[in-house]
Structure 1
């Protein structure tokens, strides 16, 4: 009965019929039923429909039931009294208005809940694979595409992507794809700076948000790359070709630089491809600055590296490592450059 009274008072409040005493009573009842406060706040801000007449029969029935219940209670208590017709008519009209508003608001609240549920279900259709710094992972997507994720990377895709006309994934970080062939449903990789379209091929995409370059390296097949800020510019790659897009670390393109085309780097001795060597647990530095090497080691080992001297960032290194520890790699780098390092937990401090 108390919750029914709350809804009745709420209807009178929204319709402007509530007295100060009724407003105080409503506040006191809401203290007893705090779970209704959320519904109350939603209903209070919901726009009242102009189609109020459509609810007339509903509110009439609700009013009749409420009056019948009140009359039974009054008879049981021996308190039934005759009221002037004009007074009863006025109260009946006020109550009808309150109940009418309440029914409309309840309908709006139901629509609100249904819409929220629909959004949650839509969100539940998305899936995500993420690797933290210091780890790498391999997974098979619903359409059969194999994907390797480097450290500090994330891909997002639809769970039913194999039933979609476009198989689309969002990438932040670095990933190597072996795409399952499906000529009728192209495979698309989106990053902040480019869109890669492919039917069936293997390629590597590197797009870390804290780096000033993004890369697409084609190994087999064919891909078409579009610049995110200029969809009209489409570049087709052939095997062993790489497209490098220059941008600032805040995501904005560098004026006058755009993109460049390069060849992927293949080791003459063992045919190892530098751009995809990480998939086989090789850490490769190819004439890279100490700043770039530090970023790679951070993701590879899950540490934070501090280069305390600006001159150190300009040092360049070349080398290939597999299964070596972080201290072993740092000692190897010291052979060609002079620096000191100190490891404290997950932090590495490097200085001259």
Structure 2
């Protein structure tokens, strides 16, 4: 089954038209899709959320399934119908710590996924947020940064995943003091504590700016799509969205080594110097290095949008993430046309008014969707 076929079948489930055999097939593939060792596809944040919710739907149905088959079928769809509404509307039901405690949240909230699969909603306005888990204390400080502290009492290393939805950015400080600024539509998986004598290793989906704390005895590794970045202490930006054709690394300070994920020796490594960008083509794993202006690629941390010779389709992708809007291009002539533009912190409608004025791009807006005519 392809990824497209899987989500087509999931859509049938949402409509309540799946057969029993199709539901079993969905269950089988969603389990494989979320197993690291048997990962079938690269999943976006929203796709991964849908799969997690679907698995919880099946578990709830299984827990409440009656013994008699005839009644079971009616009960099956009555239970499923409630969750289908939640799935389609983007409202998710998750269980948090504490007996019987449940909380409803939406896909536009920042979440922290714990090793047992439970999610914690992180509210930027809550400066008192804190959580103690397995000896590792982390909290949200007044500068809206989720901070981890080194702990000698930690019995075992936990892996946490921080998810940042479209339309938002967020900051993270790891246990070694390294800082990560996550862009919209991104997630990072990392250990709550770094082990003595082991590499400091994290996995990124999306885009982030790293300020790595220097530690010559423990190299810092960032695993991105098709690419591994190795550093000792430096500042760099990584853009590795699933839908992009390349994974790009822009170095601001220090030095980093780039290598395709399957390369284990030093022969396939490329060293970046400040002011350079390393890009790996995902279809052939070839790495190219070019000179660039780092400020263009890190402007997003200040809420600015800077585009230089970027295709209209790629620009749309960035705008969708930044504003959490759906943008549909009905003008095929614009798709590959190159654009250069700079925008400060402005509303999306004002941005498109500017595109209309200076580039002749006509658009209409309806709710959270923008149509390019």
TM-score w.r.t. structure 2 length?
A: 0.56
5+ residue gaps, structure 2: 1-62, 64-114, 118-133, 135-154
State the match for 1:265 in structure 2.
293
The one of 140, 156, 159 equivalent to 2:192 is: 159
2:246 is the alignment partner of 1:224 = no
Cα deviation code 1:13-64 (max 9, x no counterpart): xxxxxxxxxxxxxxxxxxxxxx9xxxxxxxxxxxxxxxxxxxxxxxxxxxxx
Q: 1:302 to 1:123 in 2, by over 3 A?
A: farther
Shift of 1:278: 0.9
2:197 is the alignment partner of 1:197 = no
State the match for 1:298 in structure 2.
320
The one of 281, 293, 307 equivalent to 1:246 is: 281
2:329 is the alignment partner of 1:307 = yes
Note if contact 1:125-1:159 (Cα within 8 Å) is conserved in structure 2.
yes
SS across alignment from 1:298: helix
Partners in 2 of 1:292 and 1:312 — Cα distance?
11
Partners in 1 of 2:352 and 2:327 — Cα distance?
11
Note if contact 2:163-2:188 (Cα within 8 Å) is conserved in structure 1.
yes
Which structure shows the bigger proportion of residues in strand conformation? 2
Note if contact 1:264-1:275 (Cα within 8 Å) is conserved in structure 2.
no
Q: 1:123 to 1:337 in 2, by over 3 A?
A: farther
Partners in 1 of 2:203 and 2:365 — Cα distance?
35
State the match for 1:349 in structure 2.
371
2:360 is the alignment partner of 1:338 = yes
Shift of 1:162: 5.6
Partners in 2 of 1:211 and 1:350 — Cα distance?
21
Runs of 4+ displaced beyond 6 Å: 118-124
State the match for 1:212 in structure 2.
245
State the match for 1:234 in structure 2.
269
State the match for 1:323 in structure 2.
345
SS across alignment from 1:331: helix
Cα deviation code 1:252-306 (max 9, x no counterpart): x24xx8221111225xxxxxx1011111211111121110110010000001110
Which structure shows the bigger proportion of residues in helix conformation? 1
Partners in 2 of 1:287 and 1:335 — Cα distance?
19
Shift of 1:315: 2.6
Partners in 2 of 1:164 and 1:336 — Cα distance?
56
The one of 302, 305, 315 equivalent to 1:283 is: 305
Cα deviation code 1:156-206 (max 9, x no counterpart): 011112646211000000000000111111110001211011011001111
Structure of higher CA gyration radius: 1
Partners in 2 of 1:142 and 1:123 — Cα distance?
14
Partners in 2 of 1:295 and 1:210 — Cα distance?
9
Cα deviation code 1:198-223 (max 9, x no counterpart): 01100111100001111011111111
Cα deviation code 1:86-113 (max 9, x no counterpart): xxxxxxxxxxxxxxxxxxxxxxxxxxxx
State the match for 1:130 in structure 2.
163
Note if contact 2:157-2:193 (Cα within 8 Å) is conserved in structure 1.
no
5+ residue gaps, structure 1: 1-34, 36-117, 248-252, 267-272
